[in-house]
Amino acid sequence: MARILLIDDDKNILELMTAILENAGYQITVAVNGNEGIRQLESQHFDLVVTDIVMPEQDGIAVLMWLRRQSVRPKTIVLTGGSALLQQSYLTNLAAQFSADKILSKPVHFDALICAIRELLD
């Protein structure tokens, strides 16, 4: 069973994604910001990380930068919805620069997320 780390500051999104992905047969761990996500990554192995970009404390770019320095790293999917201060295209380009394997726009369609996960893990 593939292990997935979900990082998002929206607890409702985390709960919904967890339910959907567990139903699809994945083992899910959650983190509510980049700091917590990096702590999870330091202590556990994951096959895939799904992270939001704009979050308090530590953002998704910091997570990608941390992952980039690791000799072995999981596949990554970035979810980005932009913010009042940052344009969607800027966030997408930034995520690509830091080697995200897939970039999906929010609101994410869960069938598209599951397809992206299967594509990366198969």
pLDDT tens for 67-90 read: 999 999 999 999 887 554 445 555
Q: Is residue 122 part of a domain?
A: no
**Number of folded domains in the chain?**
1
Give 100-112 pLDDT, tens digit per residue: 888 888 888 899 9
- Tell me if 46 is assigned to some domain: yes
Percent of the chain with pLDDT over 90: 63
Tell me the C-alpha distance between 74 and 48, whole Å: 5
Instruction: Report the pLDDT value the prediction gives residue 8, as an integer from 0 to 100.
Output: 95
* pLDDT value at residue 108: 85
Q: What are 29's strand-pairing partners?
A: 5
Helix (H) / strand (E) containing 29: strand 27-31
Supply the pLDDT for residue 116. Answer: 95
φ, ψ of residue 113 to 5 degrees: the values are -65, -45
Tell me, yes or no, whether 45 lies in a domain.
Answer: yes
Q: Are 64 and 95 in contact (CB under 8 A)?
A: yes
Instruction: Give the per-residue pLDDT at 84.
Output: 44
**CATH number of the structural domain spanning residue 72:** 3.40.50.2300
**Average pLDDT of the residues in 10-29:** 96
Distance CA 19, CA 48 (A): 17
Task: Kindly indicate the confidence band of residue 98, based on its pLDDT and cuts at 50, 70 and 90.
Answer: low
The verdict on residue 57 lying in a domain is yes
Contact 49, 37 (CB under 8 A): yes
Q: For residue 12, give its domain range.
A: 3-116
121 found inside a domain: no
